[in-house]
Structure 1
Amino acid sequence: MTISGKTRILGIIGWPVEHSLSPLMQNAALEEMGLDYVYVPFPVREEGLGAAIGGMRALGVAGFNVTIPHKTAVIPCLDRLAPEAALIGAVNTVKREGDDLVGYNTDGVGFLNSLRDDLGFDPAGARILLLGAGGAGRAALASLCRAGAAQVLIANRNAERGEGLAEEFRSFFSGTQIAAFGLGSPSVTDEIQKVDLLVNTTSVGMGDTVFEGLDLSLLKPDASVYDMVYAPWETPLLKEARRQGVRCANGIGMLVAQGECSLEIWTGKVPPSGVMKSRIWAALGR
């Protein structure tokens, strides 16, 4: 890849962001496609988000991904939202369109694709427990409801935030029963025994952080666990799932699928299949 005065800039903002595998896979795809772009990480603290977006405008950045903790906070900094991002209320992809910065969300599509490819899981008619009510949780909830889930339960540390999300989405998806409760409440123990899928949408698992009091031995033998965290490769949640003999997967598949969608939004071209995933697996020695 040769950088010149004509090279266009793409990137990812988040905090922390040094663990991100997006630069590896996006630059591999851009090089394979012969496009004159470069994709770089931008570490942005919460208090610096507004200034960072202003900098993106001033520098003429062509587009960027948004990760934790900015997926909802970035919205007031943008000019408009695509319909999917407006419904979800979170943004993971921003594209410069003329003078405007437009927010998109590709997390939901990436999540469903990974459930299908990595777990062989179809949400239609299923009971699902979501851990977290942030930007990734909103995208997961919307995609699961659209896919015909019978019930989605939200367990969040801040119970009021979880209930607010449930109430908001009930008006859009009457065909799915949506409920919420505190992550440490007895309801978690009651409901985890009945679900077909447990999904972590939070950053818990990075740095070996753990969910206290979450007993995976209560899961049904045919249940599955999906952890959106992918660094480390096997989080404490996934280690425990494997120990219990529960089918499980990390967020690499989702990362790749949403990244392919983002690159198509930015460039108008479909990235070659398998290039992003191969680059990540090679880097991780998998």
Structure 2
Amino acid sequence: MLKLGLIGHPVGHSMSPWIHHALMAQQGLEGSYELFDLAPEAFEESIEELLKQPMDGFNVTVPYKEKIIPHLDHLDSSAVALGAVNTVKRTDEGWVGFNTDGTGFVHSLSNRYPEVIQPGTRILLLGSGGAARGIYFALLNSEVEQVDIANRTVARAEAIINENKTEVRSRAFDLESAERHLAEYDVVIQTTTVGMSPNDGQTIISLTQLQEGTIVSDIVYRPMETTFLTEAKAKGAKLHFGHEMLLQQAVYAFQIWTDTNPDASALMDTFERKLKGV
């Protein structure tokens, strides 16, 4: 019987238990998925106790994606490159850390828009936090032409680019410049928490210059359609939703733990109804 879970603070709002119990049912597996809300002041002691438990693996969310690393025995290449872990698996060699953030996003995007990941595609990332770093790293390993990063603090965007030397063209600039240059991009990806409930009305930039047909993505999934996406839709954009990334990330973590190949698309309709409270 699988024993899985999620560590973070807070974690009470997480959809991960529902997703992973649904994946277990789909694959005919029995098990549990528990939430572990670890207080920051007691993290070191709490994580050491957790690692002694008979668990098969667990997910990691904020604020522990970096803090977990010293407690693990090995890291896979994605976790090393990103300096962050969101999935941990017990193996014969000990606890191994992985990062499915960026890969989950890129696959969820290409699942909805199969034509988007190709030579010539120009992408703009808004934000320079952990999610932006993961998505940027994954995009560099695809076939796109250009991935630029806009952030309030340009130095943080520059740091991500400088960490990942590649043939993919990249520039860093501030959010005001991003607003002026929106027409240059095929895809715009909002990677921050701006617009997340309860601050639903907030948007990170104005979309005045957005061109019809641009793919616009927001990793926020509460609300499911953010103000940013609503404004993009009004401009004739194609939308990509945060819950699609969330589900695909979870599927990759589940594959790591179980060596199965679950079907994310089979869960999407039910997952969307769950998020809407239907």
Q: What is the aligned counterpart of 1:220 among 171, 186, 211?
A: 211
Match of 1:159 in 2: 154
Q: How many angstroms apart in 2 are the aligned matches of 1:12 and 1:35?
A: 18
127 and 48 in structure 1: CA distance in 2 versus 1, 3 angstrom threshold? farther
Unaligned runs of 5+ in 2: none
Q: How much is the aligned-residue C-alpha RMSD, in angstroms?
A: 2.4
User: Aligned residue pairs: how many?
Assistant: 275
91 and 276 in structure 1: CA distance in 2 versus 1, 3 angstrom threshold? farther
Displacement of 1:196 after TM fit? 1.2
- % identity of equivalent residues: 37
Runs (4+) of structure 1 moved beyond 6 Å? Answer: none
Q: How many angstroms apart in 1 are the aligned matches of 2:174 and 2:266?
A: 40
Displacement of 1:227 after TM fit? 0.8
Q: 1:218 aligns to what SS in structure 2?
A: coil
Residue identity matched to 2:60: V
Q: 1:95 aligns to what SS in structure 2?
A: strand
Q: 1:178 aligns to what SS in structure 2?
A: coil
Q: TM-score, normalised by structure 2?
A: 0.88
Q: What is the aligned counterpart of 2:6 among 12, 16, 26?
A: 12
Q: 2:139 aligns to what SS in structure 1?
A: helix
Displacement of 1:112 after TM fit? 1.7
Match of 1:283 in 2: 274
2:177 matches 1:182: no
Residue identity matched to 1:179: R
228 and 213 in structure 1: CA distance in 2 versus 1, 3 angstrom threshold? closer
Q: How many angstroms apart in 2 are the aligned matches of 1:261 and 1:222?
A: 29
Match of 1:123 in 2: 117
Q: 2:195 aligns to what SS in structure 1?
A: strand
198 and 208 in structure 1: CA distance in 2 versus 1, 3 angstrom threshold? farther
Displacement of 1:141 after TM fit? 0.5
2:196 matches 1:206: yes
Residue identity matched to 1:130: L
> Is contact 2:213–2:236 with CA below 8 Å preserved after alignment?
no
> Is contact 2:195–2:203 with CA below 8 Å preserved after alignment?
no
Q: 1:217 aligns to what SS in structure 2?
A: coil
Displacement of 1:90 after TM fit? 2.4
Match of 1:253 in 2: 244
Match of 2:261 in 1: 270
Q: What is the aligned counterpart of 1:193 among 183, 197, 202?
A: 183
Match of 1:4 in 2: none
